[in-house]
Each structure stands twice: as structure tokens, then as C-alpha cells.
A and B are shown apart, each in its own frame.
Chain A
Amino acid sequence: DIQMTQSPSSLSASVGDRVTITCQASQDISNYLNWYQQKPGKAPKLLIYDASNLETGVPSRFSGSGSGTDFTFTISSLQPEDIATYYCQQYDNLPTFGPGTKVDIK
């Protein structure tokens, strides 16, 4: 099975800050990686697919990059409504999710 790790596990940042989350796969997964946002008590929401493509309707402050084993998710200017847990998900084989990164406002 392909294992996914994320760092950090949590972070606090100020409104307007640039926030970066990394996701690492245990083996090469090309660009077969998606990113989701989950707010408390809500279902996950797809933000980024195929490592770097923005899902329709998602604000442009969200972006993704990377390929192979190392991936990055960025919020260019953190907004209060971005408080959530963010998950990466690989699909090179059957899908697996990373453990999540909880983002708070400082």
C-alpha cells in the first residue's frame, strides 16, 4: 500500500499569511494527487486535483504543486473561512488519504 504523510499536523497563522502544507508519498505517484478541505462537522470538499489543477469554483488563493513523491499545497493569503483540516489523497493505486493538517487562525 502507498502511505501518505503530511506536515505539519497542525499550524496557526494570521489572516493574510501564506500557508504551505506538504504531502509525501511512500513511492512515486506521478501527479496522482488530490487535495480536500474539511470544515468541522462537514463533508470534505475537493480543492485541487491532479496535483495542481484548481477545481471549478475554488478560490484562486488555493494552489498545488509537485510530482513523484513530494507535493505542496498553498494558501496564498489565509482567510478566516479557510479554517479547516486539509487532506491529500493519492490515487496511483487504490486511494489513500494523508493524516490531515489542521489550520487555525492565530
Chain B
Amino acid sequence: EVQLVESGGGLVQPGGSLRLSCAASGFTFSSYEMNWVRQAPGKGLEWVSYISSSGSTIYYADSVKGRFTISRDNAKNSLYLQMNSLRAEDTAVYYCARQSSGWRFDYWGQGTLVTVSS
């Protein structure tokens, strides 16, 4: 069974940093592209970042470019999102999502809540 479990969310002050993790199991993690997608409270879905299966190709949404860094450790079956210079508008539930062909997000984690507030 495919499982994605996010962790690392919490309350952080504006300008602070946080590192999210996503532990993958039930599939060959190193064969799949992965993404982070977020959802602000009561709002819609926003794609945040993509990383290729090897980690060699990375994309970011303009809203997080230069502040967030996506990475992965295929030996540990884990995906990460380092978030720096956090702003109130970064407050959201962050989901990791497995990508199958054609930017199809076929499996999602349960999400981890990040709250940016003083």
C-alpha cells in the first residue's frame, strides 16, 4: 500500500524557518517524481514545488522561489521542503504528492499544518 506521511509542521514566527519531511513507503520511491502542494485555510490548492526522481530537476512556484528548497533522499525514501523567510501567507496545510505520468498526482499524504504568526 502506498503511504506518504508528512511531518515537521507547526507554529513559526514571520521570517522564521521550518523543514517539512515526507516519508514514503509501499512503492519504489526512487522511481517517482514528487511534489509539494499547499492549501491555505478555507482556500484552494496551490502547487509549490517539484523534484524529479533523481533530484536533478527542480521547479518552484513563483510565490516561494528563492525562499523554499525541495530535496529528496532516495536511500531514506524521504522528501523534504526547507522553508525560509516564512510569511503569514505561507500558512497552509502542506501535502506531499506522488506524481505519475503527465503531472498526475496519484497519491497524497494527509498533510501537515504550517502556521506563520507572531
In the complex, A100 Cα to B106 Cα: how many Å?
18
Asked if B104 contacts A34 (CB within 8 A), the reply is yes
Binds B, one of A18-26, A43-51, A60-68: A43-51
- Shortest CB-to-CB span from B6 to chain A, Å, is 10
Q: A94-B59, A97-B44, A99-B44 are in contact. Are A46 and B106 (CB under 8 A)?
A: yes
What A residues does B62 contact at CB under 8 A? Answer: 1
B110 to A, closest residue via Cβ: A43
What A residues does B73 contact at CB under 8 A? Answer: none
| A contacts with B: majority SS | loop
Query: What is the total number of residues of chain B having a CB less than 8 Å from a CB of chain A?
Result: 20
What A residues does B47 contact at CB under 8 A? Answer: 94-97
- What total of A-B pairs shows CB separation below 8 Å? 54
Q: Does A82 contact B (CB under 8 A)?
A: no
In the complex, A34 Cα to B101 Cα: how many Å?
12
What B residues does A73 contact at CB under 8 A? Answer: none
Q: A43-B95, A95-B47, A97-B45 are in contact. Are A49 and B59 (CB under 8 A)?
A: no
In the complex, per-residue mask of A22-39: 1 if CB is within 8 Å of any chain B CB, else 0: 000000000010101010
Which listed residue (A34, A43, A55, A98) contacts B103, Cβ 8 A?
Answer: A34
Q: Does B61 contact A (CB under 8 A)?
A: yes
Q: What 8 A-B pairs are tightest by C-beta distance, nearest first?
A: A91-B103, A43-B108, A97-B45, A95-B47, A49-B104, A100-B44, A99-B44, A95-B103
